Amino acid sequence: MFKRILTRCAAGLAMMAAASVAAHATDLTGAGASFPYPIYAKWAAKYQEVTGNRVNYQSIGSGGGQQQIIAGTVDFGASDDPMKPEDLDKHGLVQFPAVIGGTVPVVNIAGIQEGQLKLTGPVLADIFLGKIRKWNDPAIAGLNPDLTLPAKGIVVVHRSDGSGTTFGWTNYLSRVSPAWKEQVGQGKAVKWPVGQGGKGNEGVAAYVRQLANSIGYVEYAYAHQNGLAWVQLQNREGRFVQPSQQTFAAAAAHADWDSAPGMGLVLNDEPGADSWPITAATFILVHGRQADPKRAREVLAFFDWAWREGGAMASELDYVPLPGEVTAKIRGIWTERVRGEDGTAVWQ
């Protein structure tokens, strides 16, 4: 009898504790880049399990994330396209990186498996310019003498929304192709010479999966999740490399985070024999002056927890966790620059 009473008491205390956690739980909202959505979603699910706090992150594209944090309709915005210092100052925003990943070309060609097709940056640019129109074009066939490429028209798929992934992609093409730089340039949204658009990394992945003889670009986790055939790329050192956590880390190895305001580095076409040429950090945006310091502290606490406890989860999805010295630097920025309306530091 006494044992049953203790069991019931323990169960009752557990229910009271769960109810207390639920009563004090915070619902946080974020929106923006689709590039980091897989890891933000995974972190959010585990964070709720551990703390009871919910983080609702909407994958709407980097342009939408910047707009929503400026408008104050979310607790944090996310963008793969780092905001310019003058724009950060204008809107009173603090920017910091959250995780590192890579953008990969993906193809749907019968008989071509993951990592088999080789392309160079200039050839990739000519495909997206519409100058190379068939898969058996000599420029592609010459790089792939061991593959049988079809005499089929290339279906180009790009992003239709304002996208930090597009910024990184077009920034890379502008670096390796003078023709691309002159005719199209770089940005979250550009005037595409050819192709059709999909919304978000999700939309591009879906189109490439559905359309025979297509090529698009997505964050590496989307290629894995959708069973898409990614492409080897020739890097700055002239080596053909596969996308992986190791090649993304190699590209980020010598990043000087202090060299760019808001830590807004672009990691494309980095030196190093093993470097993946289209590597990127993805960034978080919060207001420097906070009307609700408690909510702001909870946002920062989420990313603090993610860096301390979520590194393995990031690695499982082929992202690269930020080095400890970088996250320590970011926490110092929080203490210095994210404050309540009375000037009190939100993060201490």
Supply the pLDDT for residue 132: 98
Q: Are residues 58 and 194 in the same domain?
A: no
Domain, as residue range, for 60: 27-100+280-340
257 lies in a domain? no
- Give the Cα separation of 296 and 140 in Å (integer): 50
Q: How many domains does the chain have?
A: 2
Dmax over Cα atoms in the chain, in whole Å? 84
CA distance 184 to 156: 15
- Phi, psi (5° rounding) for residue 128? -75, -15
The CATH number for 244's domain is: 3.40.190.10
Q: What gap in Å lies between CA 312 and CA 314, rounded to an integer?
A: 5
State how far the Cα of 140 lies from the Cα of 313, in Å rounded to an integer.
36
Task: Yes or no: say if 144 and 258 are a contact pair by the CB < 8 Å rule.
Answer: no
187 plus 291 within the same structural domain: no
Are residues 284 and 302 both part of a single domain? Answer: yes
Q: pLDDT tens-digit profile of 43-87?
A: 999 999 999 999 999 999 999 999 999 999 999 999 999 999 999
The per-residue pLDDT for range 216-233, each reduced to its tens digit, is: 999 999 998 889 999 999
> CA 257, CA 175: separation in Å to the nearest integer?
20
| pLDDT at residue 9, rounded to an integer | 42
Would residue 12 count as lying in a domain?
A: no
**Residue whose C-alpha is closest to residue 237's, from 266, 267, 268, 271:** 271
Which residues, given as ranges, of the chain have pLDDT below 50?
1-23
